[in-house]
């Protein structure tokens, strides 16, 4: 749902343009809707089993009420983060130092909350053959550090909606990892949802590519307009005339 929420927020804060009745505007809307529908289909609709995995299926306990509240809070927080970062990068275009500051303050906040919420016995690391260390390094270096830097770089280059449009692809990758690593069976809903996500992402990227081409064409036309050419010619003539006068003298 993050791309749809970010798209609405970007329209409100004027970080994205939309011509509703244009084919490009319709492609943006339907692309985001298809991606959101596909991601929801993977999570909420299982359907009949298409292929049963031979691996051991790992299941955990769940709390639907608390989980739903945390998911909604996470969606809103991630969407606001995209909008705020897109605005901050206009005035502070240093993605690497911005990523470092975000991770530093995130670490401080997490440490303070963990000191009150998590019991002291939970701070003892159970290495489990090195798997815990690999998870910590992967989460700190790749998932947090590198991914935030890449996301901010993408927001700076292409905009907040472009970066957020790739979020439903995470659902497809999680479906593949759960199938081949955790032993979950393949359901029809996962396949249909994955197809919807890819089609929606393709529609949206096609619309953004056309938007960028139009903006580039408008910029080129304004740069080589007759008015700007006349101003350039007049500027050259004004610098050449004094030289001619000096030569005649």
pLDDT at 221: 65
% residues pLDDT > 70 (the chain) = 82
pLDDT at 237: 43
Q: Which residue has the higher pLDDT, 45 or 64?
A: 45
Give yes or no for residue 157 having a pLDDT over 80: yes
Distance (Å, rounded) from C-alpha 212 to C-alpha 220?
12
pLDDT at 240: 41
- pLDDT, tens digit (0-9, with 9 covering 90-100), for 225-239: 554 444 444 444 444
Q: What is the 3-state secondary structure (H, E, C) of 72-115?
A: HHHHHHHHHHHHHHHHHCCCCCCHHHHHHHHHHHHHHHHHHHHH
pLDDT at 247: 43
Q: Which residue has the higher pLDDT, 17 or 29?
A: 29
Across 20-48, average pLDDT: 85
pLDDT at 105: 93
pLDDT at 112: 92
Across 148-163, average pLDDT: 88
Give the confidence band of 222 by pLDDT, cuts at 50, 70, 90. low
Distance (Å, rounded) from C-alpha 179 to C-alpha 176?
5
First to last CA, the chain: 75
Q: How do the domains of the chain map onto residue ranges?
A: 2-248
Give the confidence band of 109 by pLDDT, cuts at 50, 70, 90. very high
Tell me how crowded residue 80 is: count the other CB atoms within 10 A of its CB. Answer: 13
Q: Which residue has the higher pLDDT, 213 or 29?
A: 29
Give yes or no for residue 145 having a pLDDT over 70: yes
């Amino acid at each position: 749902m993050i791309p749809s929420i970010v798209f609405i927020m970007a329209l409100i804060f004027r970080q994205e343009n939309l011509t509703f009745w244009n084919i490009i505007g319709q492609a943006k809307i339907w692309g985001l809707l298809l991606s959101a529908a596909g991601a929801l289909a993977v999570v909420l609709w299982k359907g009949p089993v298409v292929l049963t995995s031979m691996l051991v299926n790992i299941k955990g306990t769940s709390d639907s009420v608390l989980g739903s509240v945390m998911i909604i809070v996470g969606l809103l927080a991630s969407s606001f983060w995209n909008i705020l970062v897109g605005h901050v990068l206009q005035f502070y275009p240093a993605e690497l130092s911005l990523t470092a500051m975000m991770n530093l303050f995130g670490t401080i906040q997490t440490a303070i909350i963990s000191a009150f919420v998590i019991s002291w016995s939970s701070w003892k690391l159970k290495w489990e053959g090195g798997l815990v260390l690999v998870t910590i390094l992967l989460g700190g270096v790749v998932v947090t550090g590198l991914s935030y830097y890449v996301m901010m770089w993408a927001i700076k280059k292409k905009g907040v909606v472009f970066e957020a449009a790739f979020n439903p692809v995470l659902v497809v990758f999680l479906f593949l990892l759960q199938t081949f690593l955790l032993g979950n069976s393949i359901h029809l809903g996962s396949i249909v949802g994955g197809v919807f996500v890819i089609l929606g992402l393709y529609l949206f990227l096609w619309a953004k590519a056309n938007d960028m081409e139009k903006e580039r064409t408008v910029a080129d036309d304004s740069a080589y307009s007759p008015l700007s050419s006349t101003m350039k010619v007049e500027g050259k003539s004004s610098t050449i005339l004094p030289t001619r006068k000096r030569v005649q003298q």
